[in-house]
């Protein structure tokens, strides 16, 4: 779960060259496109010549060639991030120019490996040899004038199979995929290796670490307790954690704000986590480490993803239910949904069929993510599941086996705008629907793990993709389906 952030933001991480981790992409301001005459003029300018030279070197995938270009023409850039971006994106295609001056150029790029669009802005030095001063790339929602071509369900699933086979052959995907509609399986497949050293193949029953996807279980558990009259969304945290050390957090942050990442409670990852990773074995251990910390901002004034907020909700579940977080979700979520291969057993416990996560290192080598993992998953994420269990959770939720209709709708309906992408954050769910059409769900991503669950309430589709590779391995596949199913 380390550095786990929402999937809508995770998409952005491999596109930016200089940004704070977890910062959301700007919205698509949809500036005008250059006219044909303006494009011709832009092509004759120094900014376009430098941009074209960079794009050619970048798309080549040749480390030495790109390194030589950066050294000569963009000395402030770092080669490793550029190569990582190249490996993940497959390169870029220039789709449109939006602005051009004597020293700058802006426009749209599309990834070769996905449907993702990015807006780039290049600035060059005014004097010869016009070296690149900066080149930013920021993920944007797909522009309306680049619509996805219509496809039938059969065509979508056939293309999905082709994409998965290509991505696996290129070592960009390893994991499992399950697509259903109204309970009927439309597509299932497992690809790559769960253990590269022992050559153990992934299967549909392989347990993958799911990162922040656990947040859906935590939020569902909280709503169960609300539905049962055992807590209120408007109550402050301190009503339940009566001995919480920081009084500002205890008295000002509500359950609603913790569920929506608007409480200002901050994250759990960073130097403190790295220093104490092996000591954090229970939720109370996290509270002991971070409980004296103050608020990052006034609760309710903005949205900022907070893993610690979800840890606090886990502690609330324990206090109100009288059970450990793990026992509660097992009894009240996993069992009713029929999820028999989902859990959060400690990393030092043998869990049959649990895949090893692999991180990409410099030079393209894969290495196990073992030294980045928490001792045990928490209410913020870090557990494990299968694509089948994720679909079972979705079906149980939408059939009101976990919550009644009113509270199910309350759980999944967006409440807070998330910067960039046009989605809203609900309670532990991302709501990407427009006029009722589209999906709800949550992703998870960290070194050596990536997953996505997408539920389409209107059309009945459910998509579960889990991978034991770095983001965006699963996300790219899920996004392909999200753009095409149920629209």
Look at the block and give the residue holding tokens 């983001």.
471
Q: Is residue 207 within 8 Å of residue 388, measured between CB atoms?
A: no
CA distance 51 to 56: 9
Which of 212, 344, 439, 467 does the annotation list as catalytic? 212
Cα angle, residue 77 at apex, residues 75 and 82 outer, rounded to 5°:
135
DSSP label at 361? -
Q: Which of 407, 451, 408, 415 lies closest to 433 in space, CA to CA? A: 415
| Long-range CB pairs of 336-339, under 8 A, 24+ apart, other chains included | 336/396, 336/401, 336/402, 337/389, 337/392, 337/393, 337/395, 337/396, 337/397, 337/401, 337/402, 338/389, 338/392, 338/396, 339/385, 339/389, 339/392, 339/393
Neighbouring C-beta atoms of residue 454, cutoff 10 Å: 27
The burial of 294, by beta-carbon neighbours within 10 Å (0-12 exposed, 13-18 middle, 19 or more buried), is given as: exposed
Beta-ladder partners of 138:
119
Q: For residue 177, give every residue at least 6 positions away whose Cβ sits within 8 Å of its Cβ, in sequence order, or none.
A: 160, 164, 187, 188, 189, 190, 191, 387, 463, 464, 465, 477
Q: Is residue 63 within 8 Å of residue 79, measured between CB atoms?
A: yes
**In 80-119, which positions are buried (b, 16+ CB within 10 angstroms) versus exposed (e)?**
eebbbbbbbbbbbeeebbbebeebbbbbbbbbebbebbbb
What are the two backbone dihedrals, phi and then psi, of residue 116, each rounded to the nearest 5 degrees?
-70, 140
DSSP helix/strand/coil, 73: helix
CA distance 148 to 142: 9
Q: Is residue 123 within 8 Å of residue 130, measured between CB atoms?
A: no
Tokens of 456: 């389409």
- Helix 63-73 and helix 46-60: axis angle, to 10°? 150
Q: Is residue 263 within 8 Å of residue 306, measured between CB atoms?
A: yes
Active site residue 212: yes
Q: Which residues are catalytic?
A: 212
């Amino acid at each position: 779960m380390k550095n786990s952030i929402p999937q809508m933001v995770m998409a952005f991480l491999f596109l930016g060259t200089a940004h704070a981790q977890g910062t959301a992409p700007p919205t698509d301001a949809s500036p005008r496109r250059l006219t044909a005459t303006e494009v011709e003029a832009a092509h004759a300018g120094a900014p376009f010549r430098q941009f074209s030279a960079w794009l050619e070197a970048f798309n080549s995938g040749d480390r030495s060639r790109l390194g030589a270009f950066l050294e000569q023409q963009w000395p402030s850039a770092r080669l490793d991030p550029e190569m990582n971006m190249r490996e993940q994106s497959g390169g870029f295609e220039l789709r449109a120019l939006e602005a051009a001056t004597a020293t700058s150029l802006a426009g749209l790029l599309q990834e070769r490996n996905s449907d993702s669009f990015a807006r780039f802005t290049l600035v060059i030095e005014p004097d010869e040899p016009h070296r690149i001063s900066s080149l930013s790339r920021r993920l944007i929602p797909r522009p309306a004038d680049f619509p996805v071509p219509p496809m039938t369900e059969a065509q979508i699933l056939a293309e999905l199979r082709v994409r998965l086979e290509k991505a696996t052959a290129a070592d960009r995907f390893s994991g499992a995929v399950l697509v259903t509609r109204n309970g009927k399986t439309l597509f299932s497949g497992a690809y790559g290796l769960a253990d590269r050293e022992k050559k153990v193949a992934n299967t549909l029953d392989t347990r993958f670490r799911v990162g922040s996807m656990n947040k859906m279980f935590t939020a569902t558990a909280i709503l169960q307790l609300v539905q049962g009259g055992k807590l209120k969304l408007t109550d402050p945290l301190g009503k339940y954690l009566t001995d919480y050390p920081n009084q500002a957090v205890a008295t000002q942050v509500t359950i609603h704000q913790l569920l929506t990442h608007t409480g200002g409670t901050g994250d759990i990852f960073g130097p403190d986590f790295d220093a104490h990773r092996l000591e954090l074995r229970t939720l109370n251990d996290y509270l002991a480490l971070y409980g004296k910390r103050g608020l990052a901002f006034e609760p309710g004034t903005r949205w900022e993803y907070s893993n610690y907020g979800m840890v606090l909700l886990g502690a609330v579940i324990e206090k109100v239910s009288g059970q450990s977080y793990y026992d509660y979700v097992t009894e009240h979520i996993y069992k009713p949904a029929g999820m028999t291969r989902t859990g959060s057993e400690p990393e030092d416990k043998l869990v049959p069929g649990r895949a090893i996560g692999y991180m990409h290192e410099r030079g393209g080598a894969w290495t196990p993510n073992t030294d980045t993992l928490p001792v045990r998953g928490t209410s913020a994420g870090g557990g494990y599941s299968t694509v089948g269990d994720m679909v079972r959770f979705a079906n149980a939720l939408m059939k009101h086996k976990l919550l009644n209709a009113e509270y199910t709708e309350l759980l999944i309906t967006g409440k807070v705008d998330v910067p960039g992408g046009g989605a809203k954050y609900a309670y532990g769910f991302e709501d990407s629907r427009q006029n009722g059409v589209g999906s709800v769900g949550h992703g998870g991503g960290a070194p050596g793990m990536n997953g996505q669950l997408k539920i389409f309430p209107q059309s009945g589709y459910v998509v579960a993709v889990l991978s034991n590779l770095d983001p965006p391995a699963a996300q790219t596949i899920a996004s392909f389906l999200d753009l095409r199913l149920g629209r």
